[in-house]
Amino acid sequence: MNGTEDTIERVTRTIHYRDMHQEDEDAMLIKEHALTVIANERPILKLVCTRSNLRELIIGRLVTEGIIETLEDIYKIYFCKYENEARVFATLKKDSEEKMLPKVNWVADWIFRLAAEFEKGTVIHKMTHGCHSCILAKGENILFTCEDIGRHNAVDKTVGYAFLNHIPLRECMLFTSGRVPVDMVEKVVAAGIPALVSKSVPTVESVELAKKVGLTLICRAWSDRFEIYAP
């Protein structure tokens, strides 16, 4: 299964048709993975995710929830044998401050390239049509692509990858397959990413927050058009 054994499983389904005949057929479905994160001996997160890029997921979630600020805040991360529990030892932030994002200079061709790359699909999505994906880019260069059963998890994995690889997120843009409610904008702002691009739509509240903090928000992004909502 090309390295997807931990994320996908084959099941049998019965398809019923209008003419009353039916047939059994195999389908590939995403497997849910439950992960508890214990920080400094205190459980702080319970995640349902796809079992891939778990270290990136944890670091990204700690960042986008305002729990840590830098990679240096983390001393150690230990996983149990089955990777359903992770122990993190870190210096945790006490207060989260609202931040203004730096201005990002972008050109339309970058957005169209990102959208075209997204339309090619990712491994798990091609097999199951049941996951979200994110693309991290700097200028015209794609730095990382990931996917997960949850759109928030995919964002966190991307942020975690950037932290682990010392990529300055203030110089990047993020493409997401999911809708953009206000909590998605909050995640991106906490990570310090100045530009968020989505193939889907925002909410009124997400547009208002994006304008308030200077986030470039581009939605309904396809390979032939996109819409700018903020700043």
Question: What mean pLDDT comes out for the span 143-163?
Answer: 95
- Tens-place pLDDT, residues 67-79: 999 999 999 999 9
Backbone φ and ψ of 58, nearest 5°? -65, -50
Grade residue 2 by pLDDT with cuts at 50, 70 and 90. Answer: very low
Q: Is 173 helix (H, G, I), strand (E, B) or coil?
A: strand
Question: What mean pLDDT comes out for the span 193-219?
Answer: 96
The answer on pLDDT for 1 being more than 50 is no
Grade residue 94 by pLDDT with cuts at 50, 70 and 90. Answer: low
> Which residues, at least 6 apart from 223, have a Cβ–Cβ distance to it below 8 Å?
112, 115, 116, 119
What is the structure's pLDDT at 128?
80
Q: Is 107 helix (H, G, I), strand (E, B) or coil?
A: coil
pTM of the complete model beyond 0.85: yes
- Residue 29 in tokens: 């479905």
Grade residue 158 by pLDDT with cuts at 50, 70 and 90. Answer: very high
The answer on pLDDT for 157 being more than 70 is yes
HSE-up of residue 76 (Cα within 13 Å, Cβ side): 6
Long-range pairs, 134-137, Cβ under 8 A, ≥24? 134/158, 134/174, 134/175, 134/176, 134/177, 135/174, 135/175, 136/161, 136/162, 136/167, 136/172, 136/173, 136/174, 136/175, 137/110, 137/172, 137/173, 137/174, 137/175
Q: Is 138 helix (H, G, I), strand (E, B) or coil?
A: strand
- Tens-place pLDDT, residues 28-65: 999 999 999 999 999 999 999 999 999 999 999 999 99
Give the helix ranges, DSSP H, for the chain. 54-64, 108-119, 123-128, 151-164, 182-191, 204-213
Q: Where are the domains of the chain?
A: 108-230
Fold adopted by 108-230: Cytidine Deaminase; domain 2 (3.40.140)
Q: Which residue has the higher pLDDT, 197 or 125?
A: 197
Q: Is 149 exposed, middle or buried (0-12, 13-18, 19+ CB in 10 A)?
A: buried
Residue-averaged pLDDT of the chain: 92
Asked if 2 and 122 touch (Cβ cutoff 8 Å), the reply is no
Question: What mean pLDDT comes out for the span 168-173?
Answer: 96
